[in-house]
Structure 1
Amino acid sequence: MVTVEDVRRLAVTFPRSSEHLIRDRVKFRVGSIVYVAFSRDETIMGFGFPKEERAALIEAEPEKFLWPRESDLRYHWVNARMSALDEAEMRELVTEAWRMCVPKKVYAAYTSALT
């Protein structure tokens, strides 16, 4: 099981990423675009995800992934149960959500700095 602190340790390494507390919910943004947000009780993590792929993700693992609330269906967004995620999967989901929000050159510079 991962925690908000695990996500925070990763998110602070991303260029242009910032953390915000909005209506008692921890959110990570690039500029004004939220790429990860947590439920108030921190049991659910919402994250950016391609709309055209989310039905397959949710149907493949319904015990782990959930549809966003109806008002968020228009966004590239999926929810996950924190208790069902492991560290490696969280890293991949959060990194890809952040990647969707930054220019390609920022992502390329970040990944080249890792190697």
Structure 2
Amino acid sequence: MATWDDVRRIAMALPETTERSSYDGTAAWRVKDKLFVWERPLRGTDREALGESAPDGPILAARVADLGEREALIEQDPKVYFTIPHFDGYPAILIHLDNIDVAELTEVVTDAWFTRAPKRVASQFRAREAESQG
């Protein structure tokens, strides 16, 4: 089970990440002012659309590379990943934090960061990671 502290720690460890509240006061993380993960509580219309399958607890939204990746994640583990009509056609996934472990969360947040990071910043990060593992 992951927490907001885990999200914050993982996101802020990525280069050039900033944390800033969204317009509604919820937490959001950006790289070079591009949103990559954010707190996304379910609204009334979301709960109506999801019906009984609407999860309780903390919900994180994360950018994904494309809609195919989003569908693959949902198919892989629908207890963790889901979407809502508001995100139709938008490359993002919703994550039930109570149902994801920290290792998988790290992968999702890092992948989201890569979708938004400038190429130069992403290349430098990959090079540092390869060097540290090498």
What is the match of residue 44 of structure 1?
A: 59
Unaligned runs of 5+ in 1: none
**Counterparts in 2 of 1:61-76, with a 5 A limit?**
61-67=77-83, 69-76=84-91
Query: Any stretches of 5+ residues in structure 2 without a counterpart?
Result: 43-56
Q: CA offsets per residue over residues 59-91 of structure 1, 9 Å max, x none?
A: 221111111x32322321000110111111000
Q: Distance between the aligned counterparts of 2:41 and 2:86, measured in 1?
A: 18
Output the CA distance in 2 between the equivalents of 1:51 and 1:16: 26
Q: Which SS does the other structure have where 1:10 is aligned?
A: helix
Task: Find the aligned partners of 1:97 and 1:21 in 2 and give their Cα distance.
Answer: 18
Report 1:27-106 matches (<5 A): 27-40=28-41, 43-49=58-64, 50-67=66-83, 69-106=84-121
Q: Which residue of 2 aligns with 1:109?
A: 124
Fraction of identical pairs, as percent: 28
Q: How many residues align?
A: 114
Shift of 1:108: 2.0
Task: Return the offset for 1:43.
Answer: 0.7
Counterpart CA distance in 2 for 1:61 and 1:44 is: 15
The structure with the largest strand share of the pair is 1
Which residue does 1:13 correspond to in 2?
A: 13
Distance in structure 1 (CA, Å) of the matches to 2:3 and 2:16: 22
| Greater percentage in helix | 2
- TM-score under structure 2 length normalisation: 0.76
The residue type paired with residue 70 of structure 2 is: R
Q: CA RMSD in A?
A: 1.8
Structure of larger gyration radius: 2
Of residues 22-31 and 90-99 in structure 1, the stretch that sits farther from structure 2 once superposed is 22-31
